[in-house]
Structure 1
Amino acid sequence: MTSLQKEAVVSAVAIEDETSAAFKRRFMIRMILVLTGGTFLDGYILGIVGPVAGKMTAELGISVVWEGLIAAGALFGILFGSPLGGWAGDKFGRKPLFMLDIGLFVIASVMQFFTNSPLELFVVRLLMGVAIGAEYSVGWPMLSEFSPARHRGRLMGLTLIAWYAGFMFAFVVGYLLNQHTDLGWRNILGTSTFIAVALFLGRLGMPESPRWLWSKGRTEQARSVARRYMGSASDLADIEREVVHSGGGFRKLFSRQYWRSTLFVSLFFFCVVTPYFAIATFADSVLQKFGLGGGLAGGVGLSAVALAGSVATVLLIDKAGRRVLTVPPQWIITVLLVILGLWTDAPGMAVLGLFLAFSFFNAGCGTLTCIYPGEVFPTEIRGVGTGFAAAFSRIGAGLGTFLMPWAMSNLGPSVTILIAAGIAAVGAGVSQWLAPETKGKSLSETASGFSH
């Protein structure tokens, strides 16, 4: 065999390997890891604040107002980063933003080591939030656009499992490092840098979304990427069936075709995350206000039960469907919070049980907040739609986190929890009205079916 023939054989084997089922499976595993890693990182930076809040307050002389601002800084950053990242992702592609947001996060995470005032710390965490916001509006659409329809709910749901895991892991790491080492609070906050660098390296060489390429008229390139990386023939065919509409951007979100999609995902997202962020970020102090001991067990307990709720939803989502895991849990959450708010002399164990049940059901339906946005918007506004919903939700999450210390001190735990119950009731009502069933449907079906 000549050298040219040998080279041809090697080339053919390489091409076959790069289109084989094993190659596509390895790619999907990598895709899931680097995307769930982004939400793990988000949970981590939010969860790491609680255990070091005392040291930060003592060293920097942080007031109650600054405590709330620093805790909510990343949430306010998401408020700006999500819609901006979604717009840019729809316009310039998922891949460039995919790398840019994690690069910004690496830089901002390193800056935590050098903060010397409440203002500096707030600004750094604001930048981190901008990066995470862009991650939501690019990462979730990208995963939905690569995922097989029959497994899309489960794969998308993994991102929220990663968020709760990141939050809980950060709380444990922060607590242990704070209690059992001499590391300062800056170093503890800066541990997020190691995760960010690993994700940046893991994302090098990832492909562009074939659906985005198709939406821009780059059909041959879209077919090439889809054939190489996507394993389902039906999903490959669905890309070519997708109808690409002209225009895009924020205006289209409120058009006659898509206003219901925008209204549903935004209010649903807002009403699910607002009570959780407020309660979970200050889990230690909230439990103490209700007469329970704080420390590691309380904070980790809420996050661990939340993680279990998210896992349960992910296991059921592609069999039971979306609506049954969206609407009933929100009504249950509302009832649990009303009981907590009205039962002022409840025994400690009853209070703890109610809080744990709240965490479980809130996380269960909250898993749908990272699934629905990627399904109910068409490709040309999937990024900006996801970004807008995430940003709108962070208005509530940021305000809840910022106002929680003030509300607990000035309104009392009972009134504070009843306000949270009212927010949960609004979410339940909106979901009862508008939540679609998208189980097993292709992306072109889910987007067109909810646009009329």
Structure 2
Amino acid sequence: MGTGTRMGAETGRITTNIPGRLDRLPWARWHWMVVIGLGTVWILDGLEVTIVGSMSEALKPTDTGLGLSSFDIGLAGAVYVAGACFGALFFGQLTDRFGRKKLFLITLGVYIAATVLTAFSMTPLWYFCARFLTGTGIGGEYAAINSAIDELIPAKYRGRVDVAINGSFWIGAAAGSLLTIPLLDPTVVDAAWGWRLAFGLGAILAVGILIVRRHVPESPRWLFIHGREDEGERIVKEIERTVEEESGRSLDPVDETITIRQRKTIGIIEIARTVFTLYPKRTIVCFSLFVGQAFLYNAFFFTYGDTLTTFLGVKQTGWYLAIFALSNFAGALLLGRLFDTIGRVRMISGTYILSGVLLAGTGLFLGSVTAVTLTLMGAIIFFFASAGASAAYLTASEVFPMETRALCIAFFYAIGTAAGGISGPLFFGWLIDHASASGDITKIAIGYFVGAALMIAGGVIQAFLGVKAEGRSLESIAQPLTADEPEPASA
């Protein structure tokens, strides 16, 4: 690849050992600060999605809610996801251009403002617009946060930390489910205020996260590539000093270095051309993983509460959704370590294929399920699916060059989510409306079969084309575009 102006003006050429120094750090309290400050945002995403699903009935009345239909509930989910796609792409390129920290502060601010607007919704149109803006903030978070986490967490722990953090979505989902129990009880909270309070609580939690996040530093990896190596060196020295104090261990010297041609900016067209030319197989892998998990989750979970109330006679869905959500988090937490030991390829392909087969089996027996058995099957399926789906974000954030990391996360999230996340809720909303007219729950099974097929396909593609990234530095998995000696064309 050339060094012309398309890549931006070259500001210098440096040799640095910053990546090796970050990767050799032992785990310390400082890393927990990064996890809490950055990773807890997925709790907010889980809270948002679950509140919408759990409160579908509360939003339907015209007097205390907004007069939404089942299709409108699905549409609101699709609008939220569309906003997330837009936010990922818009903020993703800004994250690679202006830095991780600026953007993970801005995107959280967007989320807070939009969530407050949602709580004050007066009309369906207002609600849809607020949901779009909320999704915009969350989509931007996916790009900024995953890139920052992977660049700050040591290689030895990157897989389990990333999977667990993305899986923490389900802590928020469980909390949202349990919150709806008192908030939807008219003897506890007025029906006109319960769902509004739920959204307001999300904004309060986000403010707490913002306070912690202010102490998370900019990525030193991003800094040295963009001509700010002195600032990156200062941050790494401070991190090393803190980790030595917290762990009580002296850090070994690092000999591994990388030479970088620093750039102020790198054009998005050049980034896209380089990524797709050098890594076509990785592009196929990421696309298939994101489409599979997006359709599976957004289709099933956005309308799960509606399915329980419409077909299975459940009046209060909170307990069912909480059990389902806790199973998802348990899967990401308990299986996460295996992605660093057994390896990415075998674990991702295995979890995708197994969850797809189980979902298809559930679809075959959908006519005989009860609320309890459907929830039990969902808990088993998504125990495995949640770990695999979380690893999809890990894959997109670690198998492409540093300069493209946030944009690649955004790109695959947006395309995969647009294919599965927008069509999924709309498709399932239509299936529920169609099936409820005849009272036949089995008409929803086709959605299960489509989701299962996409998950199995993603697992098979991962098995053949996946990258063995466990325990390796980000720079060895995909050499930076600005590295002094470009990597040969590769999958």
TM range (shorter): 0.7 to 0.9
* 1:420 and 2:430 correspond: no
Picking from 235, 254, 277, the partner of 1:256 is 277
Picking from 113, 119, 125, the partner of 1:119 is 125
Q: For residue 478 of structure 2, what is the aligned residue in structure 1?
A: 447
State whether residues 224 and 232 of structure 2, in contact with CA within 8 Å, keep that contact through their aligned partners in structure 1.
yes
Distance of aligned partners of 1:45 and 1:351 in 2 relative to their CA distance in 1, 3 Å threshold: closer
Greater CA deviation, 291-300 or 261-270?
A: 291-300
- Distance (Å, rounded) in 2 between the aligned partners of 1:299 and 1:47: 8
CA displacement at 1:149 relative to structure 2: 0.8
State whether residues 71 and 433 of structure 2, in contact with CA within 8 Å, keep that contact through their aligned partners in structure 1.
no
TM-score between both structures, scaled by the size of structure 2: 0.81
* 1:216-254 deviation per Cα after TM superposition (whole angstroms, max 9, x unaligned): 13222222222222559689766x426558745255335
CA displacement at 1:350 relative to structure 2: 5.5
- Distance (Å, rounded) in 1 between the aligned partners of 2:135 and 2:72: 17
Q: For residue 316 of structure 1, what is the aligned residue in structure 2?
A: 338
Counterparts of 1:84-99 in structure 2 under 5 Å?
84-99=90-105
* 1:325 and 2:347 correspond: yes
Per residue, is there more helix in 1 or in 2?
A: 1
Counterparts of 1:123-272 in structure 2 under 5 Å?
123-179=129-185, 180-182=188-190, 183-230=193-240, 240-241=257-258, 243=260, 247-249=266-268, 251-253=270-272, 254-272=275-293
Letter in 2 for 1:160: N
* 1:381 and 2:404 correspond: yes
Secondary structure of 2:472's aligned partner: coil
* 1:301 and 2:309 correspond: no
Distance of aligned partners of 1:98 and 1:284 in 2 relative to their CA distance in 1, 3 Å threshold: closer
- Distance (Å, rounded) in 2 between the aligned partners of 1:291 and 1:69: 22
- Distance (Å, rounded) in 2 between the aligned partners of 1:44 and 1:370: 19
* 1:136-188 deviation per Cα after TM superposition (whole angstroms, max 9, x unaligned): 10111101101111111122122123211111111111232112422332222
CA displacement at 1:97 relative to structure 2: 0.6
Picking from 357, 362, 381, the partner of 1:358 is 381
* 1:429 and 2:451 correspond: no
Report how many aligned residue pairs link the two structures: 432
- Distance (Å, rounded) in 2 between the aligned partners of 1:242 and 1:147: 21
State whether residues 111 and 134 of structure 2, in contact with CA within 8 Å, keep that contact through their aligned partners in structure 1.
yes
- Distance (Å, rounded) in 1 between the aligned partners of 2:167 and 2:259: 30
State whether residues 149 and 235 of structure 1, in contact with CA within 8 Å, keep that contact through their aligned partners in structure 2.
no
Letter in 2 for 1:334: G
Backbone CA RMSD of aligned residues = 2.8
State whether residues 248 and 381 of structure 1, in contact with CA within 8 Å, keep that contact through their aligned partners in structure 2.
no
State whether residues 78 and 423 of structure 2, in contact with CA within 8 Å, keep that contact through their aligned partners in structure 1.
yes
Greater CA deviation, 53-62 or 435-444?
A: 53-62
* 1:85-130 deviation per Cα after TM superposition (whole angstroms, max 9, x unaligned): 1100111111111111111112112112321111111111111111
- Distance (Å, rounded) in 1 between the aligned partners of 2:365 and 2:77: 29
- Distance (Å, rounded) in 2 between the aligned partners of 1:176 and 1:151: 39
Secondary structure of 2:276's aligned partner: coil
Distance of aligned partners of 1:392 and 1:202 in 2 relative to their CA distance in 1, 3 Å threshold: same
TM-score between both structures, scaled by the size of structure 1: 0.88
State whether residues 334 and 424 of structure 1, in contact with CA within 8 Å, keep that contact through their aligned partners in structure 2.
yes
Distance of aligned partners of 1:287 and 1:332 in 2 relative to their CA distance in 1, 3 Å threshold: farther
Greater CA deviation, 292-301 or 198-207?
A: 292-301
Letter in 1 for 2:28: R
Distance of aligned partners of 1:250 and 1:82 in 2 relative to their CA distance in 1, 3 Å threshold: farther
Letter in 1 for 2:189: T
Distance of aligned partners of 1:109 and 1:23 in 2 relative to their CA distance in 1, 3 Å threshold: farther
**Structure 1: which 5+ runs fail to align?**
1-20
Secondary structure of 2:55's aligned partner: helix
* 1:398 and 2:422 correspond: yes
Q: For residue 73 of structure 1, what is the aligned residue in structure 2?
A: 79
Letter in 2 for 1:356: A
* 1:304-338 deviation per Cα after TM superposition (whole angstroms, max 9, x unaligned): 21111111222322222211210012111221122
Secondary structure of 2:60's aligned partner: helix
Letter in 2 for 1:327: S
Letter in 1 for 2:405: R
- Distance (Å, rounded) in 2 between the aligned partners of 1:23 and 1:250: 38
Letter in 2 for 1:423: L
Secondary structure of 1:255's aligned partner: helix
- Distance (Å, rounded) in 2 between the aligned partners of 1:33 and 1:337: 33
CA displacement at 1:347 relative to structure 2: 5.2
Q: For residue 39 of structure 2, what is the aligned residue in structure 1?
A: 36
Distance of aligned partners of 1:290 and 1:115 in 2 relative to their CA distance in 1, 3 Å threshold: closer
State whether residues 280 and 303 of structure 1, in contact with CA within 8 Å, keep that contact through their aligned partners in structure 2.
no
State whether residues 95 and 209 of structure 1, in contact with CA within 8 Å, keep that contact through their aligned partners in structure 2.
yes
State whether residues 276 and 362 of structure 1, in contact with CA within 8 Å, keep that contact through their aligned partners in structure 2.
no
* 1:409 and 2:433 correspond: yes
Q: For residue 16 of structure 2, what is the aligned residue in structure 1?
A: none
Distance of aligned partners of 1:400 and 1:245 in 2 relative to their CA distance in 1, 3 Å threshold: farther
* 1:255-312 deviation per Cα after TM superposition (whole angstroms, max 9, x unaligned): 3113333332232122113112221222233346675756233222221211111112
Distance of aligned partners of 1:339 and 1:234 in 2 relative to their CA distance in 1, 3 Å threshold: farther
State whether residues 105 and 213 of structure 2, in contact with CA within 8 Å, keep that contact through their aligned partners in structure 1.
yes
- Distance (Å, rounded) in 2 between the aligned partners of 1:65 and 1:333: 27
Distance of aligned partners of 1:235 and 1:335 in 2 relative to their CA distance in 1, 3 Å threshold: farther
Letter in 2 for 1:186: R
Secondary structure of 1:55's aligned partner: coil
Distance of aligned partners of 1:355 and 1:244 in 2 relative to their CA distance in 1, 3 Å threshold: farther
Secondary structure of 1:424's aligned partner: helix
* 1:51-84 deviation per Cα after TM superposition (whole angstroms, max 9, x unaligned): 2221211132223332212223321111001111
Q: For residue 17 of structure 1, what is the aligned residue in structure 2?
A: none
Letter in 2 for 1:284: G
Letter in 1 for 2:271: K
- Distance (Å, rounded) in 1 between the aligned partners of 2:158 and 2:321: 31
What is the identity percentage for the equivalent residue pairs of Structure 1 and Structure 2?
A: 24
**Structure 2: which 5+ runs fail to align?**
1-23, 245-250, 436-442, 480-486
State whether residues 245 and 380 of structure 1, in contact with CA within 8 Å, keep that contact through their aligned partners in structure 2.
no
